[in-house]
Amino acid sequence: MTLPSWAREPLVHFLFAGALLYAFFAWSGGSEVDPASRVIDVDKDQQAQLAVQFERVMGRAPTDAELDAQIDRFVRDEVLYREALRLGLDQGDAVVRRRLVAKMDLAAGAAAERAAVDDETLRAYFDSNRDRYAEGTSLTFDQLLFSDEGSARAALGRLAASDGWQFEGERSTLPRTIDGKSMRDVGGVFGEAFARSILELEPGNGWQGPLQSGYGWHVVRLRKRSSAAANFEAIRAQVENDWRSEEIADRKRQAYELLRDAYRIEIDR
C-alpha cells in the first residue's frame, strides 16, 4: 500500500508522536516517572544503554566495575530526580521550562537535521538567495536606530515628508553611514540577521524598513549595492548548511502553529 504524500511528511510524524505521548500521559494519570514509586528497576535494556553511553564517551566498552559505577550513578540520579518531582521542584522552574521547550523544538527540527538534500533543491535555494552568496558584495547605506518598531515606523513617515534625517534616530555608537563595506563587515557591526535583511532591500534614495538587529530597529537608505556572481560548486557545503538551518526553523514554526491551534489563548489587556 502506498501512503499519501502528507502521511510521509516528518512534521506529521512529530505531531502523531506528540498525540501518542499525550494519550499515554492522560491514561496513566501522570508523568512517565511516578515520584511515589519506591521501585527503581535497572533492567538489561537500561544497563545496555548505560554501557553504550560509556562507550561513546570513552571509545571502549566498560569493564564490569565501570558498569557497576554507571549503574550506581544512574540509581543516584533517579532517586534524586523522583524526590525532586515528589517535592514539586520542577514546578515554576524557568530552567526546566526552557529545557522542555528546547526539547520540543529539537523534536520538530530533528527530521530536517538528518534529511538528505539533492543538488536540485540546493541549486533552487542558491538561485533564490544569490545576493547572499555573491562574492565581493559591498553595501553603501545610511541607517537610523530606534528602540522599538513603532518608533521606527513613525520615523519612516516623517522621512518621506522631509530630508531631515540627521535629526532622527537615537544616539548610539553605531555608524550612521556605511560606505562600501562587505557583507562580512556589515554583519560584524550589526549582526548577521541585519546583514541578510538589508540584501532584500532595493537600492535607491528612499528610506526602508524597519529592520531588526540586536541593537533595536533600524530604518535604512540603501544607496548602493554591488556584487559578483558566486560559484555554486565552490560553496555547496555553505548553501546546504543555510538550507538546513532554514528548513529546521520552518519545521519548528509549522509544528508550533499546528500545536497552538489546539489551545484557546486568553490574554488580559
Q: Say if residue 147 is in the same domain as residue 98.
A: no
Instruction: Confirm whether 158 is domain-assigned.
Output: yes
Q: Report the length, in residues, of the chain.
A: 269
Task: Identify which of 68, 134, 62, 110 has the alpha carbon closest to the alpha carbon of residue 255.
Answer: 110
The enclosing H or E element of 223 equals strand 217-228
In the listed set 114, 149, 184, which residue is the last one of a domain according to the structure?
114
- Residues spanned by the domain of 169: 135-228
Query: Are 51 and 70 contacting, i.e. CB atoms less than 8 angstroms apart?
Result: yes
Q: Say if residue 85 is in the same domain as residue 139.
A: no
Q: Say if residue 140 is in the same domain as residue 41.
A: no
Domain CATH for 192: 3.10.50.40
Q: Say if residue 154 is in the same domain as residue 82.
A: no
* pLDDT given for residue 262 in this prediction: 83
Task: Identify which of 164, 159, 169 has the alpha carbon closest to the alpha carbon of residue 217.
Answer: 169
Residue 202 phi, psi dihedral angles, 5° rounding: -95, 130
Query: Which residue type does 184 have?
Result: R
Q: What is the pLDDT of residues 169-219, one digit of tens each?
A: 988 889 999 998 888 889 889 988 898 899 889 999 899 999 999 899 999
* pLDDT given for residue 212 in this prediction: 92
* pLDDT given for residue 178 in this prediction: 92
Q: Say if residue 179 is in the same domain as residue 96.
A: no
- For 29, residues 6+ apart whose C-beta sits below 8 A from its C-beta are none
In the listed set 83, 114, 145, which residue is the last one of a domain according to the structure?
114
In the listed set 51, 81, 114, which residue is the last one of a domain according to the structure?
114
Domain count, the chain: 2
Instruction: Confirm whether 238 is domain-assigned.
Output: no
Q: Say if residue 109 is in the same domain as residue 157.
A: no
Along the 269 residues of the chain, how does pLDDT read in single tens digits? 454 554 455 555 555 555 444 443 333 333 456 666 788 889 999 999 999 999 988 899 999 999 999 999 988 888 888 888 888 887 888 888 888 888 888 888 887 777 788 999 999 999 888 777 776 778 999 999 998 999 999 999 889 888 778 888 988 889 999 998 888 889 889 988 898 899 889 999 899 999 999 899 999 999 998 877 778 888 889 899 989 988 888 888 888 888 888 878 777 77
* pLDDT given for residue 140 in this prediction: 93
